[in-house]
Structure 1
Amino acid sequence: MEDAFFAELDRQLAPADAVLTSLYPGDRGVRQPIHTVYVPADRFDASTVTEWATEARAALDQHGGSADELAGILGLPSAHAAEVYDRVRAKLEREPIEDLRIDFEDGYGIRPDEQEDAAAIGAARALTKLVHAGTAPPYHGLRIKSLEPPSRRRGVRTLDLFVGELARAEAVTDGFVITLAKVTSVEQIAAMVVVLDAIEWQHRIPQGTLKFEIQVETPQAILASDGTTPLPNMIQAAAGRVTGLHYGTYDYSASLGVAAAYQSMEHPVADHAKDVMQLAAAGTGVFVCDGSTNVLPIGDSHQVHAAWQLHKRLVLRSLVRGIYQGWDMHPAQLPSRYVATYLFYREGLETAAARLRAYVEGGDSGYLDEPATAAALAGFVLRGVECGAVDPAELDRLIGVDAASLAKLARRPLRS
């Protein structure tokens, strides 16, 4: 065929090409935290992260004090029990919380304005101390009340006060993120962009700095009145500011009439909502985050073990479904979160590495892996490295690549 034919073909498809590139840019090139820890605003201070780490280690010592003991409690295979246990202990020392959210919504409740004003300023100052000390979790921020009429002014005021304190102290970081609760319409997302523009201008923050997550916990966020899902339009309306879609287990389930005893991350209505979220976010660079379990590991060892077993199973279930982040609500959930996550990556490492090495070197792994599957394999190993389940030194030994080459295989753009 002549060049003129292909030129006309390019011209005809140019608008669709531009839309695809704009709406589906792919991986943002940043690490996704494996969890988001929620702490009520009135319980947060500069010692909270240290206290969570101390309580998590104490729970592990008291209720799962050795690798063999924890293996028996959580059903860890002997081949991975010791390495998982040691890595979890090290993680709780080094980086107990990957993502922290100071909660001014359901975890905080409705308070007098002067009380929430003081809490917003106090929490921001406490976070500032962590940022300046270099001890803040890699990702951190706050959850504000929704933009529904009853809570709109309160949510925006809290956000303005909080960000203003950070800005004055030069403590707004790349890891700062806002969670917008109970979103019900695309218009609320567009309004949130207006709010963030105004706050950035007011506090002399570079435009586009402030990012936020959409909390998917209302039926209207999954299915609009016209029978379509509004989530893709919400992502577009955010003008590049949305970083994640977070599933709200209990608000969403209750809204659909699910009885309290059956509200769970694995209820069919939850799976349907998260399937829609994954479809809407695919290719956009927006992360999907699962919800939480409200069964807490507290009480005697029998109760703690039962809660850990449930949490481990739910975390693994999410990981298998391709959802790599969830919520944690109590320090004693950190051991089971990290055990489940590290087990997931350690069990799959050797097979994934062998397939990747064969793909890179043109060898035979027993699998006919196409580029998309190779990217998924590389993404799996890269996530393991980022959370501490895999050592960077293992990449060269098992795959024959370094971290930069692994990121390239995973189709993740390298950030300078």
Structure 2
Amino acid sequence: MGQQEKAATSLADAVGAEIGASLAGVDAELARRYPGDPGTRQPVHTVYVPADAFTATTIRSWGDRALAALDEHAPDAATLAGVLGIPRELAEPVHDRVRAKLEREPVEDLRIDFEDGYGPRPDGEEDEAAARAARLVSDAYADGTAAAYTGIRMKCMEAAVRDRGIRTTDIFLTGLMRAGGLPDGLVLTLPKVTYPEQVTAFVRLLEAFEQAHGLPAGRLGFEIQIETSQSILAADGTAAVARMIDAARGRATGLHYGTFDYSACVGVSPAYQASDHPAADHAKAVMQVAAAGTGVRVCDGSTNVLPVGPTEQVHDAWRLHYGLTRRALARAYYQGWDMHPGHLPTRYAAVYAFYREGLGQAASRLAAYVARAGGDVMDEPATAKALSGYLLRGIDCGALDTAEVTGLTGLTRADLDTFASPRRGGLTVTAP
């Protein structure tokens, strides 16, 4: 037995107390501004459907059309893997899971679009469409056919369309309340935000609605679409997107990158407007840093190259979409837009390949961390959190099964939740 060391100090307890008191304000600000990830499921995509095209069968129709495209252009696992470059050992698991996903839950997040996809309409027509959307959404949640997340994208807070956007939001939310209340998966998307004051104005709108219906303060959250250069870099040189998150007063749930509006805003020629353009990478990097730790999630944009036409043309579009999706996942943009049913097979193929490729390594590293077993990688608590988050995202979208993750890590779903985020809970729709 060695000699026991005696610890000695030089500072009075009052020093620590004084330092703690001096940093109390900072502690409170950190807790308010950077609460961490909310711990809820993040959908892998958002599907946009114009309000006039939205029906009670939209989700099932998208799934059926995606399955038909898969059957026509990649009827077996080997064909899909060959087109997309999926490793041979993953071909069957990915193909089978994609088919099952399209049959079970083809759309994870649906946005009924009253903005660019809908355009200017007579007030009476948009009024009716907003009321109809509320009824259909309420019915879908009641009968279990709704996407896990559903909502609208209204017109923006710019002067020309502000009143129309406010009225559509009011009609839609009022319709939901009259039909039984706001669903748990409700999402609102505020587009073309240029100044933080526009976010403040939208917060005021939601506060007024909550007060009118006796709802808890903060019940209504929303996504902010980043589609203008001014939303990234303000006139005074500051990162406007960070100020927008603050202006949302805790209501912001996501930052969605608008590929084509933003590209056009900074002068990118149409042939080069894409989510992997350097201008897009810069914008999303600023968004990512601004959102880090705030609980606000970042969503990538879309491609306008549709997988339609002869098989060769469809395969080319699939390869493009698959590559962009995998690129986004590697850069920690875990959500993107899908604009056509033909994008669903490659969305899920990319997501599933991403999680299944990394399953073995992520599980072994997390198991070694928990067991303090070491290994060839020395992981820290932050990495254990990231590994758990990776596995949970894979489970939530259907790429992984809870049982197989538990078998590889020895950890239950609850254990993973604890590692990933102490705030985990709320709406977590787990694939069977």
The TM-score, its normalising length taken from structure 1, stands at 0.98
| Alpha-carbon contact 1:55-1:331 (below 8 Å) kept | yes
Per mean C-alpha deviation after superposition, the further-off stretch among 101-110 and 191-200 is 191-200
Structure 2 residue 207 is the aligned partner of structure 1 residue 197: yes
Listed one character per residue, the Cα deviations across residues 291-321 of structure 1 (whole Å, up to 9, x for unaligned) are: 0000011111111111110000000000000
| Alpha-carbon contact 1:102-1:141 (below 8 Å) kept | yes
Structure 2 residue 114 is the aligned partner of structure 1 residue 98: no
Quick one: which amino acid aligns to residue 311 of structure 1?
Answer: H
1:146 aligns to what SS in structure 2? coil
What's the counterpart of residue 430 of structure 2?
A: none
Quick one: which amino acid aligns to residue 335 of structure 1?
Answer: P
For residues 255 and 54 of structure 1, the distance between their equivalents in structure 2, rounded to whole angstroms, comes to 36
What's the counterpart of residue 110 of structure 1?
A: 120
- 1:171 is displaced (CA, Å) by 4.3
Q: CA RMSD in A?
A: 1.0
Given candidates 42, 51, 70, the residue that maps to 1:32 is 42
Structure 2 residue 222 is the aligned partner of structure 1 residue 208: no
- 1:203 is displaced (CA, Å) by 4.0
1:149 aligns to what SS in structure 2? coil
Structure 2 residue 243 is the aligned partner of structure 1 residue 233: yes
Quick one: which amino acid aligns to residue 317 of structure 2?
Answer: A
- 1:201 is displaced (CA, Å) by 2.9
Quick one: which amino acid aligns to residue 65 of structure 1?
Answer: P
- 1:241 is displaced (CA, Å) by 1.0
For residues 33 and 92 of structure 2, the distance between their equivalents in structure 1, rounded to whole angstroms, comes to 44
For residues 121 and 314 of structure 2, the distance between their equivalents in structure 1, rounded to whole angstroms, comes to 33
Given candidates 417, 421, 424, the residue that maps to 1:411 is 421
Given candidates 64, 69, 72, the residue that maps to 2:79 is 69
Structure 2 residue 146 is the aligned partner of structure 1 residue 136: yes
What's the counterpart of residue 137 of structure 2?
A: 127
Distance 1:296 1:171, change over 3 A: farther
- 1:395 is displaced (CA, Å) by 2.0
What's the counterpart of residue 275 of structure 2?
A: 265
- In structure 2, the gaps of 5 or more residues are 1-10, 427-432
Given candidates 352, 355, 359, the residue that maps to 1:349 is 359
Quick one: which amino acid aligns to residue 96 of structure 1?
Answer: P
- 1:205 is displaced (CA, Å) by 3.6
Distance 1:259 1:21, change over 3 A: same
- 1:156 is displaced (CA, Å) by 0.5
For residues 395 and 218 of structure 1, the distance between their equivalents in structure 2, rounded to whole angstroms, comes to 41
2:341 aligns to what SS in structure 1? coil
Identity across aligned pairs (percent)? 57
- 1:414 is displaced (CA, Å) by 3.4
For residues 308 and 412 of structure 1, the distance between their equivalents in structure 2, rounded to whole angstroms, comes to 38
What's the counterpart of residue 409 of structure 2?
A: 399
Quick one: which amino acid aligns to residue 14 of structure 1?
Answer: A
For residues 377 and 237 of structure 2, the distance between their equivalents in structure 1, rounded to whole angstroms, comes to 41
For residues 118 and 107 of structure 2, the distance between their equivalents in structure 1, rounded to whole angstroms, comes to 20
2:218 aligns to what SS in structure 1? coil
- 1:396 is displaced (CA, Å) by 1.9
| Alpha-carbon contact 2:156-2:165 (below 8 Å) kept | yes
Listed one character per residue, the Cα deviations across residues 108-136 of structure 1 (whole Å, up to 9, x for unaligned) are: 01111111111111122111211111110
1:223 aligns to what SS in structure 2? coil
| Alpha-carbon contact 1:266-1:314 (below 8 Å) kept | yes
1:105 aligns to what SS in structure 2? coil
Select the structure of larger CA radius of gyration: 2
Listed one character per residue, the Cα deviations across residues 16-70 of structure 1 (whole Å, up to 9, x for unaligned) are: 1111111000011211110000000000011101101110111111111111111
What's the counterpart of residue 67 of structure 2?
A: 57
Given candidates 336, 340, 352, the residue that maps to 1:326 is 336
Listed one character per residue, the Cα deviations across residues 209-264 of structure 1 (whole Å, up to 9, x for unaligned) are: 21110000011110111000122221111111110000000000000010000000
- In structure 1, the gaps of 5 or more residues are none
| Alpha-carbon contact 2:38-2:424 (below 8 Å) kept | no
1:147 aligns to what SS in structure 2? coil
Listed one character per residue, the Cα deviations across residues 336-362 of structure 1 (whole Å, up to 9, x for unaligned) are: 000000000000000010100100011
Given candidates 293, 296, 305, the residue that maps to 1:286 is 296
For residues 358 and 139 of structure 2, the distance between their equivalents in structure 1, rounded to whole angstroms, comes to 39
Per mean C-alpha deviation after superposition, the further-off stretch among 200-209 and 110-119 is 200-209
The TM-score, its normalising length taken from structure 2, stands at 0.95
Quick one: which amino acid aligns to residue 214 of structure 1?
Answer: I
What's the counterpart of residue 379 of structure 1?
A: 389
Per mean C-alpha deviation after superposition, the further-off stretch among 56-65 and 206-215 is 206-215
What's the counterpart of residue 97 of structure 2?
A: 87
| Alpha-carbon contact 1:404-1:414 (below 8 Å) kept | no
- 1:206 is displaced (CA, Å) by 3.5
